[in-house]
Amino acid sequence: MTAPLFLLAPASLEAVAEGALVVVDGAEGRHAAGSLRLRAGEAVLLSDGSGVEVAGSVHQVGPAEITVRVESVCRPPAPAPRFVLAQALAKGDRDEQAIEAATELGVDEVVPWGADRSIVQWRGERAAKAHRKWEQVVERATKQSRRHRTPVVADHVSSRQLASRLGGATLALVLHEDATTSVSEVVLPEAGEVVVVVGPEGGITAPELAAFEAAGAHVIRLGPHVLRSSSAGPAALAVLLARARW
């Protein structure tokens, strides 16, 4: 079984080297020492979300923390191209399911999009709370999938703001059931940013679609079936990432 991964504070592993001792405390330390009951000598993985890959073993266990001796450090470059999922807000937890699976697959950024037909809308205090919940979903999925680079959770965007973002992307793809171009026909860039847009349960409106196309986006389909908002993005990313990274 793969060793457990613990996420530390951002940039905390920036200067770590082989042989160093790293203290894992706080919520992660309590989980390691309490829930997982790790013991000296057991293998663990550490990350600060920046991409640095640290492997080590438990040196010492405290009441609510562990001390890890670093055995190897790897700092691979960020993968290219960069993949972004613009996910429309959806009812229930379907948008959270989408970003969870997208994180496990390897997405680099998720963008919460308040589409015209989104039943759920982020406003006021709810927006900050919902954004933090997305961050927590992404963090948990990062750990579960043993990723060392935590996806960015961007600020909430309107349809107009999303169109502007698509205009600056190297490649922008909008999933739509009426499209005639298949995802398998898309030519991926070797670098830059690929943005995949997934609409809400009620679909993307005609004005939104027109604005996205005017910004340079390509409208594509996944296949003959209509997928839920929770599964469309991960399905598209799986196809694209298989061609670009896997």
DSSP line for 51-81 = S-EEEEEEEEE-SS-EEEEEEEEE-PPPPSS
Say which CATH superfamily domain 82-244 falls into: SPOUT methyltransferase, trefoil knot domain (3.40.1280.10)
Which part of the chain has CATH 2.40.240.20?
5-74
Q: Using DSSP, how many helices (H) and how many strands (E) does the chain show?
A: 6, 12
Measured CA to CA, the distance from residue 179 to residue 11 in angstroms comes to: 43
Q: Topology of 5-74 in CATH?
A: Ribosomal Protein L25; Chain P (2.40.240)
Residue-level pLDDT at 223 = 82
Q: Where in the chain is the domain with CATH 3.40.1280.10?
A: 82-244
Q: What is d(CA 67, CA 58) in angstroms, rounded to the nearest whole number?
A: 6
205 Cβ neighbours under 8 A, 6+ residues apart: 115, 116, 117
The rounded percent of the chain whose pLDDT value lies above 90 is: 90
* pLDDT at 113 (0 to 100): 98
Q: Which tokens in the block code for residue 187?
A: 């030519």
Give the pLDDT mean for 89-108: 96
Whether pLDDT at 106 is above 80: yes
Name residues whose C-beta falls within 8 Å of residue 51's C-beta, 6 or more positions apart in sequence: 75, 76, 78, 148, 149
The pLDDT of residue 245 is above 80: yes
Provide the mean pLDDT of the chain. 95
DSSP state for residue 157 in the 8-state scheme: B
Least confident of 6-10, 24-28, 203-207, 227-231: 227-231
Distances (CA, A) of 79 to 28, 187, 207: 27, 17, 34
- Burial string for 73-95 (b: 16+ CB within 10 Å, else e) reads beeeeeebbbbbbbbbbbeeebb
- Eight-state DSSP code of residue 216: T
- Cα 4 to Cα 11: distance, rounded to the nearest angstrom: 20
Res. 176: pLDDT tops 90 = yes
Q: Which of 26-30, 60-64, 122-126 has the lowest mean pLDDT?
A: 122-126
Q: Mean pLDDT across the stretch 42-70?
A: 96
pLDDT, mean of residues 18-31: 96
Place of tokens 């919520």: 27
Cα end-to-end distance, the chain, whole Å: 21
Q: Residue 57's closest CA among 27, 65, 67?
A: 67
When pLDDT is cut at 50, 70 and 90, the band that residue 7 belongs to is very high
Is residue 125 very low, low, confident or very high in pLDDT (cuts 50, 70, 90)?
A: confident
Q: What is the mean pLDDT of residues 31-53?
A: 95
